[in-house]
Structure 1
Amino acid sequence: MKKLVYTLVWMIPLWAVHGYSQMAKDLDGTASDVATPFLTAQVVEGKLWVDVPSSLLEKPLLWTSNGNSEFYDSKHVQFRKEGERLYLEQPRVWSEMGIWLPMNGDISLERIFLGEFPIMAYDGNAYRIDMTSVVLDESIPWQHMSSLPRLGHLSEVVGVKHKEGELMVQTRIGLSKEGVSFLEPVFFSFLVLPEPMEPRPYDYRMAYWVEDQDRTGDQTENKVGSIGRWRLAKKFKDRERSVPQKPITFLISPDIPEKWRPYVKAGVLEWLPAFEAAGFTNAIIVKEMDSLDAWENRSLGNSVIRWGRNQNVRGREALGGGGTVTLVVDHRSGEIVKSDILLGTSLQRLQDEYFVRCAALDPRARTNPFPDELTGELIQFLVAHETGHALGIKDNHFGEFQYPLERMGDAQWLKDMGHTPSVMSYARHNNMAQPKDSVPPHLLIQKVGPTDHYYIQWAYTEFPSGWGKKQKSERLEEMIRWQDSVPWYRYNDSNYEIIGPGNTNEVVETNDPVGGAKRALANLERALALLPDTNQGRTDMARSKRIYAQGLELWYHTMRNVLSMVGGYEVFYKSMDQEGSLYTPVDFTRQQEAMDYFMGQAFDPPQWLTHPDLGMDIRYSSHPDLVLNYQKLLLMELMRPQRMKRLEHLETLEGFEGALDWYVEELQQRLFKELLESTGQVPARKQAIQALYLEKWNQNFQKERFQLGVDEMAFVHSDHSLGVVMEQLLDLQRLLRKSLKRHKHLESKGHWAWCLAKLEELTGG
């Protein structure tokens, strides 16, 4: 559920350049009149000969490539005639929103030269040229083409296929890797552009990509552009709800086993009620395919749901990676024309993630392997998430820190609202309900929620034909303002910095992170305790080790969610004429409560987590120490300059006076609390944490900051923060000297002496 790849795509007109038609069969087997392709081609003695009609000269076309990366890359191109030659060029794209789109990230480029072809023949209608070089030439940059060394003597054009409005060319590209030669199949397509559809303006408050996925600028900037969405129009304009003129259609690849296909289909169709809110019935169709050859699989006329290439490969059983979607988008208007859904997560990974969250709540998860029904529901969840991407919606944070914690065990709420407002967040499954709540197991799995319905309604609702631009804009803004009264409709982008409890992943984010953590960890403890019984009969400890590692990862993310309260903000993106702030600090008392809970849990974790009963001891050494690894990551979170700068800013606000001083003092006192105890004994893990704390401050004080630019300064501590830290380190130095001098029987004496030496190195004596 990670990266989206947007490319340019052209819808194909139904007219034919050559003016006659032929019979063909659609994928469902029905006969239809199909216009002859606008380009014709043939392979002659290994050469690709293409006939380019004169009527296509200087007309916008699309040239796409698709190799083993599974993603589509594309270029706006056009043919131009000069003398006895045709030239292939890539021009800059004009958006229907009234702006030029940068080409290849360069705002100065207006066109790129791609190829030059002598005219072989002209029949009064079309020019014949040899295009072999451009489909085999490695000098033409394709974003997703393999970067491995090419073997030209092995590369060849395999064949061509003419589809309605699409010319497809199959090649095999010779590649070399570590002395081994192999062939990679690469498909190219040429398409012609139709009239662009009416765009829907991009708005940063709604989680849709701008059409070309331009990520430059601040995440709160409203770029001039259109969002990515399908061309969907009512068949019956006078009805409140109508079937579309052309529904969104997905094909289930034959490589997906038959027993999982009903769940794949159900995952896609979870979105049907959302489209009903936008005025469409039966907006999506899903077809199961018994066969699908390479041409149909790669054609831009088909959107295919299939396993990722590494599915069922030994060694990838436990790997994550989620799924992904390759969106093919017409950048002029944002129209999505093709979207393949690639299911990359292994079934084993889906099951392990569910076990650590819900085994205490769902008896089906206590069997090994899971029953097909439960595995199918997890596949459905994965497909539902990826379908959201295929419809244009981004990953990120939707209404998090808004759902009430007490509702997480309320079956009626979960039926109506779900445990998270959107399937597009990384909340995963409900581990906040408790066994006493008796929540039906099917309500524990993440599904399409109310915020997803809201997003589809905003993007796909048709306007009455008589409405002008101003009226449409006002209606869209009115719908966005629903976020004023429905807080779980709100979206925010973490932008690589967790600035509050609505910005963390892998946890169910309620309005009470501390209370939620207590419930989640209670279920995690119960799940780990179930492992010995559920793993009976296995001949190895692989599953126990794997699920324990998953449990530690979940503990880490739960701790991050609690920590996000400290120096944290609630985020609510707004227009200039809306009252209130974009960033509202979390109440200081709640920050202090979160810090207290976090310090007790993160660096003094419970025995059930550090030494679980897995039915057999699975360790023979102190290395690797997975718990310590996560503790070190959490310490780095505590020491981040970004967090300290937020606390430094909070000190300027009423009610947050002394926030940074409190934070640094609380952090250091809790980390070194053993020094204040009678014996001074420090467990080995805590020694490593204390040592890392001093080492990192030593490094931070030595960083050269005066030559850094504005952007780089975000990643170093301010002078004020370093001054506050130095004051605390000097106090720690004095305390260590006193303790080592007065307490002759101080335990962990060597460790404390090392800490003092490190401090003296840092402070200069």
Structure 2
Amino acid sequence: MKKHLIGFLGLLCLTSSCGVLGKKGSTGVTSGNTYTHTEAKPYDKIISKEAVSSKGLVDVHLVEDKYYFEIPDSLLQREMLVVSRFIKTPAGATTYGGEEIGEKTIWFEKGPSNKIFLRIQTLVSVASEEDAISRAVTSSNTTPILEAFDIKAINEKNNAYVIDVTDFINSENPLLSLTEKQKKNFNLTTLEKDKSFIRAINTYPINTEIKTVKTYKARISEDKNKNLPAAILSGMVTVEINNSIVLLPKIPMKKRYYDPRVGYFASSYWEYGDDQQRADRNTYIHRWRLEPKEEDIAKWERGEPAEPKKPIVFYIDPATPAKWRPYLIQGINDWQQAFEQAGFKNAIIGKEWPVDNDSMSLEDARFSVLRYFASPAKNAYGPNIVDPRSGEILESHIGWYHNVMNLLHNWYMVQAGAVDPRARKMEFEEELMGQLIRFVASHEVGHTLGLRHNMGASYATPVEKLRDSAWLEKRGHTSSIMDYARFNYVAQPEDSVSVNGLMPRIGDYDKWAIRWGYSLFEGHKSVGEEKEILSKWATDSIAANPRLWFGGEGRNFDPRAQSEDLGNNAIIAGFYGIKNLQRIVPQLIQWTSKNESDDYDNLEEVYDAVLRQYNKYISHALKNIGGLYVTPKTVGDEGDVYRPVPKEMQKEALAFVDTYVFHEPSWLLYGDILNKIEAPLSKKDLSQTMEGVMTTLLGGSRLSRMEFIADRYQYEEPYTPEEFVEEVDKLVWKELDFNAPVNAYRRSLQKAYVANMLTLYNPKKPQGGFIDALLAKLSEGRTLHTDVRAIALDNLITLESRLRASIPFTRDTMTRIHLQFLYKQIEDAIGEDKFPKKIYSPLDNKMSIQQDDKGNF
């Protein structure tokens, strides 16, 4: 195997947290250095008989109040990962004990003048040492020396160097302390050394654990919400930190190249070689190292599941309420079925934390733990710690917030309450809440295994199958638990769908993705050979089974991959979802009442959840308009990567918006509810929803994209921006055709239409406040060299003429006032002066039309 030199920072991470990786640079030092030479003393003069010592990755000695590391020569130049976590955080912080502070790759090396250097890795680019270009990589990628330690003594018996680490550990440094961003979040300034100390240092065969207490001065912010109680009371904030120094494997795990058709987190580096004509960007996935036990290799070769040498073990934080622990463990163990398809049995195990084992620490980077946070936040997350050289996942600390149960309750009541009677109360039965917890645990564990969100998974299920009980029992309502598919809101009460058809579970995609990422191959195949096998496997598998499609995080313009959606048609799915919302709204007062002495806080919270769900259905439909299907492919795949959403689908989406947004959703304005939770301001909330939809519909980004798509895909019947604007115009201004009264909701709709059209025409003069100004600025750049502004101007000129003609015949006073206001807005904006300065209504018994001094009417 060729050796590689690794150089400067170029890491690409498809994940929420990125590591850094690299190799050592040159340790040669020229003459004339400025380091002060210090002489090492005899070993027993430093490490006396009174020393409290422990052996491990580095031997640790405590002599009086000094901590010494004894670093063997064999450990020099070896990469180590330093993972820092909070042990305890101050009250009022949004960060909790067990959460990560950061991670860095380090190594120790022998320096001049009797020094040991500590370097921090800053890389990544590689070149074979056999290639001449490796010199260029090396010479342009020097890693920084973070600290220089005097060698206090040398242990001749094991050729180890003794250094004093006390002051370094107690200091403010980028390796063992808070980041600048975290200090800013806590309003911290300087470290108070006299109030900071080392609590303990424990060392083990492959890791050393440092526990410190650090106290900082804190400033008081003008924003009272950002001030921690400790800072207000004392001007000081104290945190407890654990730093795990973990030895990375001497031989990194074999990489597996990333394929955009399979959703894994990944890192990358630039690779240089003498035979290249351009540098290569090599991207590799994050995964655990799973290898069959020696005694199971024969089984594995016969195609039978084998037990791994080192299974993936997750421990449950002992702070977790006992009744939820079995469900969390189930959520972890549910992934075993996926690993069996990859050739492993008992590959992943959930366990309770052994509370009587003093040799184990929750912050220890050797152990993966589900940490339970006493927090009002409604969240959970699943990170992973990665060997940056290979993508090997070393451990994970899942974050679980207590109040995620509140989020699960509201989701399930709103999305499944029409179908599942158990969802119709404020406190769910233990079994139901347990199953909800299990599903979230499985989702977060999926992230820790390397899997990204797959927001396109739910698209693999035809909408009609979401009402088919037998189909759902077999396959579930989405092909991946890594989707934000939540619960089956399409199923109707008459469909008799069981809980198996309502909740997500590990599906076809999840099992296939684990198999793709974790299966091993017979023989000593290179990373490149495996890449070719896996690429063909992805091509053949996805072609044969569309349920294996990876849709990504939904950050592009593809309506198939959206958060919180279901099925292959957002319009039909939204129709069924709204039908269920219309069923549950009248029941909310009863469902949210626990006792006669309760107030209406529960009702308000769940009603707000209903409004959010309604908004989701609208946004799911909207994304089809100007949408673009994006399907990653290789040269070996058939078809195009980019395809426009069919015109008919876009028109259906607009019709959906007309039905449920352009016409007031009065079913949401349920008087019995609104009169109990607030003055009827929800009408205003619905107007804000409508205004947001109008801004999205008539945004410069969407219309410019529609113009681009229409121009590129002329072989298909495009939905042009001019046709789209014309159809929106007809829906918004229906009343003008009949001189009909315009109610308050529709007046708001029409005002929003005019404001957005004026902003499209002239983005430099936004029609509202800060947000409108920001949107206008974005629109200005997106529409600068397009026909969108011209379309807007044409629409405004036509609308002005229609308003001028309609106003004299409008009998409803408020409608007339409203139309006159809009007419004046348009006239002022486009600079027209050929129309009457004032328009009189027939109700005034005066002339309806005046002639101006230029003879125009």
TM-score range, shorter chain: 0.7 to 0.9
Which letter maps to 2:414? V
Question: SS of 1:625's equivalent?
Answer: helix
Deviation of the 1:470 alpha carbon: 5.1
Q: Distance in 1 between matches of 2:314 and 2:21?
A: 17
Q: Residue 385 of structure 2 corresponds to which residue in structure 1?
A: 328
CA–CA distance in structure 1, aligned partners of residues 239 and 783 of structure 2: 45
User: What is residue 100 of structure 2 aligned with on the other side?
Assistant: 71
Are the aligned partners of 1:202 and 1:223 in contact in 2 as well (CA < 8 Å)? no
Distance (Å, rounded) in 2 between the aligned partners of 1:108 and 1:632? 54
Q: Distance in 2 between matches of 1:380 and 1:53?
A: 46
Counterpart contact for 1:303–1:338, Cα < 8 Å? yes
1:40: Cα distance to partner? 2.0
Match of 2:308 in 1: 244
What does residue range 456-471 of structure 1 map to in structure 2 within 5 Å? 456-469=514-527, 471=529
Structure 2: distance between partners of 1:628 and 1:97: 60
Residue 748 (structure 1) aligned with residue 778 (structure 2): no
Asked if the contact 2:426–2:594 (Cα under 8 Å) also holds between the matched residues in 1, the reply is no
Question: How much has 1:263 moved relative to structure 2?
Answer: 0.7
Distance in 1 separating the partners of 2:203 and 2:526: 41
Equivalent position amino acid for 1:232 in 2 = L
1:534 aligns with 2:534: no
**C-alpha separation in 2, matches of 1:146 and 1:655:** 55
- The 5-angstrom pairing of residues 324-363 of structure 1 reads 324-344=381-401, 345-363=403-421
- Look up the match of 2:239: 184
CA shift, 1:173, in A, is: 1.2
Q: 1:739 to 1:711 in 2, by over 3 A?
A: closer
Letter of the aligned partner of 2:787 in structure 1? Answer: H
Which residue number in structure 2 is paired with residue 161 of structure 1?
202
What are the equivalent positions in structure 2 for 1:729-744 lying under 5 Å apart? 729-743=796-810
Tell me if the contact between 1:6 and 1:326 (Cα under 8 Å) persists in the aligned partners: no
Paired residues of 2:458 and 2:480 also in contact (CA < 8 A): no
Query: Which of residues 170, 188, 197 in structure 2 aligns to 1:136?
Result: 170
The 1:98–1:732 alpha-carbon spacing in structure 2 relative to 1, beyond 3 Å, is farther
Aligned to 2:191: 151
Question: CA separation in 2, counterparts of 1:119 and 1:368?
Answer: 65
Distance of aligned partners of 1:138 and 1:762 in 2 relative to their CA distance in 1, 3 Å threshold: farther
Note if 1:693 corresponds to 2:753. Answer: yes
Deviations 1:523-563 (A, max 9, x none): 12222222122233441111111111111111111111111
Q: 1:723 to 1:323 in 2, by over 3 A?
A: same
Structure 2 partner of 1:122: 154
Match of 2:115 among 70, 85, 92: 85
Bigger Cα displacement from structure 2, 425-434 vs 176-185: 176-185
Q: Is the 8 A contact 1:400 1:501 kept in 2?
A: no
TM-score (norm 2): 0.78
CA deviation string 1:730-758 (max 9, x = no partner): 11111111112343545422222221122
Relative to 1, partners in 2 of residues 1:328 and 1:576: Cα closer, same or farther, differing over 3 Å? same
Greater Cα shift, 667-676 or 566-575: 667-676
Deviation at 1:208, TM superposition (A): 0.8
Helix, strand or coil at the partner of 1:550: helix
Compared CA separation, residues 369 and 411, structure 1 to 2 (3 A): same
Uncovered stretches (5+) of structure 1, i.e. residues with no partner? 11-34, 100-106, 215-220
Which letter maps to 1:336? I
8 A Cα contact 2:761 2:793, kept in partner: no
Q: Distance between the aligned counterparts of 1:6 and 1:366, measured in 2?
A: 43
Q: 2 CA distance for matches of 1:71 and 1:190? A: 14
Change (3 A) 1:701 1:58: same
Q: 2:737 aligns with which of 672, 676, 688?
A: 676
User: Which residue in 2 is equivalent to 1:489?
Assistant: 548
* 1:172 corresponds to 2:213: yes
Aligned twin of 1:301: 366
CA contact (8 A) 1:160 1:168 kept: yes
Cα deviation for residue 714 of structure 1 reads: 6.5
Residue identity matched to 2:665: P
Query: How far off its partner does 1:568 sit?
Result: 1.6
Structure 1 residues 562-601: aligned runs within 5 Å: 562-601=621-660
Q: Which has the higher contact order (CA 8 A, sep 6+)?
A: 1
Q: Distance in 2 between matches of 1:579 and 1:717?
A: 36
Matches within 5 A, 1:338-417: 338-344=395-401, 345-417=403-475
Stretch moving more, 201-210 or 689-698: 689-698
Pick which of 648-657 and 617-626 moved more. 617-626
Aligned to 1:18: none
Task: Tell which deviates more after alignment, 330-339 or 610-619.
Answer: 610-619
Could you say if the C-alpha distance between residues 161 and 473 of structure 1 is closer, same or farther in structure 2, counting changes exceeding 3 Å? same
How many pairs does the alignment contain? 713
Partner residue in 2 for 1:14: none
* Match of residue 352 from structure 2: 288
**1:423-450 deviation digits (Å, cap 9, x = unpaired):** 1111111111111110112431111111
Give distance in 1, aligned partners of 2:584 and 2:488: 14
Which residue in 2 is equivalent to 1:24?
none
Conserved? CA contact 1:208–1:394, under 8 Å: yes
1:265 aligns with 2:329: yes
Distance 1:501 1:649, change over 3 A: same
Identity of aligned residues (%): 27
What is residue 204 of structure 1 aligned with on the other side? Answer: 260
Q: Cα distance, 1:250 vs. partner? A: 0.5
Match of 2:44 in 1: none
Call closer, same or farther: CA 1:290–1:87 in 2, change over 3 Å: closer
Going from structure 1 to structure 2, the CA distance change for 1:680 and 1:700 (only over 3 Å counts) comes to same
Partner residue in 1 for 2:70: 51
Q: CA deviation at 1:160?
A: 0.5
Query: Which whole-Å CA distance do the structure 2 matches of 1:157 and 1:37 have between them?
Result: 19
- Secondary structure at the counterpart of residue 723 of structure 2: helix
Given that residues 315 and 368 in structure 2 are in contact (C-alpha distance below 8 angstroms), is that contact kept between their aligned partners in structure 1?
Answer: yes
Paired residues of 2:83 and 2:365 also in contact (CA < 8 A): no
Question: Does 2:610 match 1:610?
Answer: no
Match for 2:287: what amino acid?
A: R
Structure 2 letter corresponding to 1:690: Q
| Aligned residues of 1:8 and 1:328 also touching (Cα < 8 A) | no
Residue 590 of structure 1 deviates from its aligned partner by 2.0
| Match of residue 79 from structure 2 | 60
- C-alpha contact 1:8 1:73 (8 A) present in aligned 2: no
Amino acid at match of 1:185: E
Deviation string 1:138-170 (CA, Å, 9 cap, x unpaired) is 342665753322332322211101123111111
Q: Distance in 2 between matches of 1:736 and 1:182?
A: 63
TM-score, normalised relative to structure 1: 0.87
Deviation at 1:51, TM superposition (A): 1.8
- TM-aligned CA deviation for residue 606 of structure 1: 2.6
Say yes or no: does 1:430 pair with 2:471.
no
Moved more, 691-700 or 177-186: 691-700
CA distance in 1, matches of 2:210, 2:381: 25
Structure 1 residue 83, shift from structure 2 partner: 1.3
Match of 1:5 in 2: 17
CA distances 1:699-740 after superposition (whole Å, capped 9, x unpaired): 4444469xxxx9998655653111112211111111111112
The 3-state SS of whatever aligns with 1:160 is: strand
C-alpha contact 2:380 2:404 (8 A) present in aligned 1: no
CA contact (8 A) 2:760 2:788 kept: no
Q: Name structure 2 gaps, 5 residues minimum.
A: 1-13, 23-53, 90-94, 130-138, 221-230, 271-278, 766-776, 833-857
CA RMSD between the two structures: 3.0
Q: Which amino acid aligns with 1:346?
A: V
Aligned-partner SS, 1:5: coil
Corresponding residue for 1:112?
Answer: 144
Structure 2 CA distance for aligned equivalents of residues 507 and 613 of structure 1: 30
Q: CA deviation at 1:575?
A: 0.9
Give the superposition deviation at 1:293. Answer: 7.0
Give the Cα separation in 1 of the matches to 2:610 and 2:524. Answer: 57
Alpha carbons 2:472, 2:500 under 8 Å: kept? no
